[in-house]
Amino acid sequence: MPSRHRRKAALLAPVTAAALVGTAVILAGPSPTVQAAGTGAAVAPAAVPATIPLTFTNNSRRGEQVYVYNLGTELSTGRQGWADANGTFHPWPAGGSVPVPAPDASIAGPANGASMTIRLPKFSGRIYFSYGQKLDFRLATGGLVQPAVQNPSDPNRNILFNWSEYTLNDSGLWINSTQVDMVSAPYAVGVKRPDGSVATTGRLKAGGYKGFFDSLRAQPGGWAGLVQTRSDGTVLRALAPGHGIEAGALPAGVMDDYINRVWTRYAGSTLTVTPFANQPSVKYFGRVSGNVMNFTNSAGAVVTSFEKPDSDSVFGCYKRLDAPNDQVRGPISRTLCAGFNRSTLLTNPNQPDTSSAGFYQDGVTNHYSRKIHAQMADGKAYGFAFDDVGAHESLVHDGDPRQAYVTLDPFD
């Protein structure tokens, strides 16, 4: 699954079994094989064919033409490109130092009330869809430039669109809905298992789309600034809070009070992190000294340290909470990131806290994530980058997938 690490010209980096989320501006560089993590046993390579069908259904109740895109990394070669409706791979041509228009990779989607089936190749990438207008993709020297609608000059700023992310490889299919970057056009994803059952996620409750935006607008503290509308009054999206800070739409210090209280608390007590559920003996112990939280192992040796994060580091799970793909700092950082966003670090000194009953209870929290989880039919969402800590993410997987689904849902 694509990396959660987002931001300005970041690469869509190596994948993990934890999630299919990412907010990269440039899609470039190979994605390695996913390792399943408690979501189903791996299967022999022969069990997964070269392509599988994806049924794309339009239940949006909207009349605009829908355009569909399948963009990503060809896993057998590491090349970046797009797949057509038959699942045939097309590599991107070279880009320019000034980004140049990409080839038209759009597939005409189904009308309201109709479905169509395309083929998914062994890819790690994104399935974009837009309403009423094709998306504007460009190619830079580093690869594909993704939409970055926190930038008011982005050519896709006034287009209603969204995307799902997936990886199909020899170990199966992982496909998710994502709100890591924004909440926009509603949809659900699914996978058909060998027994004919279908696992789905990403669907909002009845009234959940309007309910989310109404609730976000009513949240004190500047959260209403995350909502973007078009000149015709169409609600386009709500930016994720990190993007909101970047765009000046959310106060940069919105999480500071909670961060300060955490720092004060653990200057005089210990935060215990047990990052691997299947390795309960692996523990790290955090104590604050000045502006730094130092983590020691069971032998008392310092293994990593974190500077006091700012709100943007918390929301993006990067910068001062960077999480490299290693076995020490990354797992600790993802645990801290989840604890900050869910505001559980003061109520539970043993992390991760995986019970949703205690999430978002502090007045200073990631209200964007809180509100999208509250509106999901199954409670699952990717409200921030490491929302998979404790398996609260909107992801489905099967090691022997027979079919995938993306369903556009009503805007109610």
Q: Which residue ranges make up each domain of the chain?
A: 6-218+371-408, 256-365
The CATH-assigned architecture of domain 6-218+371-408 is Sandwich (2.60)
| Ranges of residues in the chain whose predicted pLDDT is under 70 | 1-46
Q: Are 403 and 53 in contact (CB under 8 A)?
A: yes
Q: Percent helix, strand and coil across the chain, each rounded to 5?
A: 15, 35, 50
Q: Which of 181, 312, 393, 398 is catalytic?
A: 181
Q: Which of 84, 154, 165, 353 is catalytic?
A: 165
Q: CA 380, CA 391: separation in Å to the nearest integer?
A: 8
How many residues are there in the chain? Answer: 412
**Amino acid 47: pLDDT:** 75
Query: Across the strands, what pairs with 142?
Result: none
Angle between helices 367-375 and 208-218 (to 10 degrees): 160
Q: CA 65, CA 353: separation in Å to the nearest integer?
A: 44
Strand ranges in 16-122 using DSSP code E only, listed in sequence order:
23-27, 51-58, 66-74, 79-83, 89-91, 100-101, 107-108, 115-121
Catalytic residue at 74? Answer: no
**Amino acid 207: pLDDT:** 97
- At 157, list the tokens: 């700023």
**Amino acid 7: pLDDT:** 31
The H or E element that residue 287 is part of is strand 284-289
Strand ranges in 84-153 using DSSP code E only, listed in sequence order:
89-91, 100-101, 107-108, 115-121, 123-131, 138-140, 143-145
Q: What is the dihedral of CA 92, 96, 98, 102, to 10 degrees?
A: -20
Q: Are 391 and 405 in contact (CB under 8 A)?
A: no
pTM of the entire predicted model: 0.90
Catalytic residue at 165? Answer: yes
Query: Across the strands, what pairs with 385?
Result: none
Q: CA 347, CA 343: separation in Å to the nearest integer?
A: 8
Q: Where are the alpha helices (DSSP H) in 101-229?
A: 208-218
At residue 244, what are phi and psi to the nearest 5 degrees?
-65, -40
- At 319, list the tokens: 């910068």
Give me the amino acid identity at 70.
Answer: N
Other CB atoms closer than 10 Å to residue 285's CB: what's the count?
Answer: 15
**CATH number belonging to domain 256-365:** 3.30.920.50
Other CB atoms closer than 10 Å to residue 386's CB: what's the count?
Answer: 29
